[in-house]
Structure 1
Amino acid sequence: MGLLSNFPFMLAPGMGTNAYFTFSIVLGRGLPWQAAFAAVFVAGCLFTVLSVTGMRTLLIRLFPEGIKEVIGAGVGLFLTFIAFQGAEGMGISVADPATLVTLNSLSPSSYDSAKMWMSLAVLVVTATLLAAKVPGAPLIGIVFGTVVCWIEGWVNGVEGSVFGYPFGTAGDRSAKDFHIFVPHGLVAQPSLDGLAGALWEGFDWALNPETSATFWTAVATFCYTDLLDSSGTFFAVAKVAGLTDSRGNLPLARQNMAYLADALSMLVGSSLGVSTVSTFAESTAGVADGAKTGLASLVTGSCFLLAIPFSPVVSAVPPLASGPILCCLGAMMCSSVRGVNWDDFQESLPAFVAMITMPFTFSIGYGIIAGLGLWISIQVLLAPLRLYRGESPLVRVRLLWASAWVESNDELEDGKGTPSTITPSQSSEQV
């Protein structure tokens, strides 16, 4: 990503598609995990074709203005929702049969409260450092929480630690998955035995009449979820970094190369034995410290490479230290709502639906689909009224298409990435 596009976007296996891969495709529909890897590989091939031809970029440029503006805020709320949960964050939100979610107990009598208070301390420290514009504030916050957790674990041990995981165990040390986050070694030998190349065993299922429907459904799902998730992340992170133009678009050539890097990562990832690799929203952490170029991606990739042999240490970073950072990143990304014309309900209502659907459905892709669906429905239902008024029935659709097409042509002609500006407020005659 860093070499091809020069954008500060980072790549990793997507957690949302991991869940779909495991629970829906493999466990739910009975497709072998090798065949699921093969489905990811095929989706990566399709993405590569779409990226090379530029069709992926053109499709994304057809997003309505309001939806493009709030993608960053939606991703920010999505990250904050993750930060509030116990699995990857602060444990503030817990399930409730009546209200779906509720506040976890902060009472000293609750075993989870110590982890929550420590997370809040990390959040306060990190927020203060960000307000003071201290370089590396997110990293300092993570180190602070991690060091405190490790020292407490080493002093009290498993039997006495108040930072035991997972949330909800009530400190039951006999629970099968009870553990504390302290390093249990320094180095470990990595191995891909049984994973690398396993996808080639799964292609037979694509041709099997009994399983082919499930296989190709998985391919289609991986395609549209990664297309929308990665695109949403591109816009969100680039907006925070100030890399977009006045209409929220990225330079055409570099955006195509970013999509190509994203597609190639799917091919490499599925070959090595992981589910869909995509651009992740935590890239905002680098942008928050001023990352503007692909050097951030190269440094991040190098750090992950160095972390492989030191996995016992890296994997001991507790969620109570990393979760608050996601909350801070979510706050940074919510600034994009300022670009929405909230008085124009044709743009603002679909944008709002897209934004809130992301955290409520735990999917960036579903949020974009919801916003686009509402926007299209509004345009179709307004068509008869516009005809009655003597207006073009699908004027907003025409404006959107003309804007995306003209901008792309202008960028290809001048090579400077300085597109024309056509906004929905302009009339069809001006276009």
Structure 2
Amino acid sequence: MKLPNLAFHRPRGGARPGNALRGGGYALAGTAVVLAILVAVNVFAAALPASLTHQDISAAQLYSVTSNTKVVVNNLAEDVTIYWIVQSGEEDDVIQNLLEKYDSLSDHITVEKRNPDVYPTFAQQYTDQEVANNSLVVECGDKSRYIPLTDIYLGEINPYTGGYNATDFDGEGAITSAIDYVTSNEYPQVYLLEGHGEGELPSAFASQIEKENMQVQSLSLLQVDAIPEDAACLLIYAPQSDLAAEEKEMLTDYVAGGGRLLVCAGAVEGGMLENLYSLLADHGVAAQDGLVIDPDRAHYALSPYQLMPEMNSSPLTDPLLEENYYAIFPLSIGLTVETDSDAVTELLTTSAQSYSKAAGYALETYDWEEGDAMAIRSRSLQYNYLTIDSATASLLQVLMIGVFPLLFLGIGIYVVLRRRRMQHVSL
């Protein structure tokens, strides 16, 4: 019996079972490799310090630290612990990011969280005040400082609602000041001169001095034989009358011996403070009589005598420049540098168009007249909202809700149809 010849034909384009299995194995192995790489990258990124993984793009730079903080932290020789007192789920994101910055800046800084539900008596060893969530305690050895939340978020009580309205964030200032306090053994002594009708220090100025851990004491030069040896600085703020000759001589000897003198003085109705300003003349700086007027619109605020000078780079002004602050000086007298000396650093300068009005308080015009001498910069939580008109708002709605989704949907449909067509062609 003769069997017929049978022929088996594999369809064109068909895949062998072994090839399909091998291809599936390759795909599975490739997927495993990609997942392993992703896991490794995530583990590596999590191990990086916050300074490398968190980039501050906020307008007020809430998540950044200034050069002053870096100097304090880099000079640490002792271990500092920052206790974050907060209940679970009540953590403030801004404070958390800031604490991560400090933790990453130095191996001497450790941040530890203390939940008052778990440690109900923990804060009592540092303060008698009622402790709010997100308050801090900075400790080094036997010294500590409690930082209430109201020292981190500055603001005021709303008289209508009774609530607290935060306007500024001073977390960095409060934490850095506390670190400097607990790691220091001696604190600078600042003597505030009195006896010449000096004005009271502005609250912001006094708070800043306190934040810098300086101790302020009053001093009358007429009641002492010499300026105390422990004086880190002598401060003269807004005197209304001139120094006596004996006081001027005492200050001259103090400065000549390396003492630091900070003079905050301006125009007074009684005329020039000759003895006081002669101290500046000894160092090549001359005070000009009258009020400074700057007609350059980029260098004054509201009126030409409310000066907004250029801030030059220096250790004193760099923190202000970093935060984009402007310095405004109303009713100012002019200072001119009489000699090219390295001992004089110009911190603030008016424009080349500025001049001094000899009339002083009695000025009747801002224009330059015959006899006028020519005279040669906390983070806000307020947001600037983008205001758009109704037509622009409608256009954006159409684009975001209608045009863009339909565009992406059309692209997706095109890609799917194209892939199916290519599959049919290959078969």
Q: Could you say which structure has the higher strand fraction? A: 2
User: Taking CA–CA contacts closer than 8 Å with sequence separation of 6 or more, which of the two structures ends up with the larger relative contact order?
Assistant: 1
TM normalised by structure 2 equals 0.21
TM-score computed with the length of structure 1 as normaliser: 0.21
Q: Which has the larger radius of gyration?
A: 2
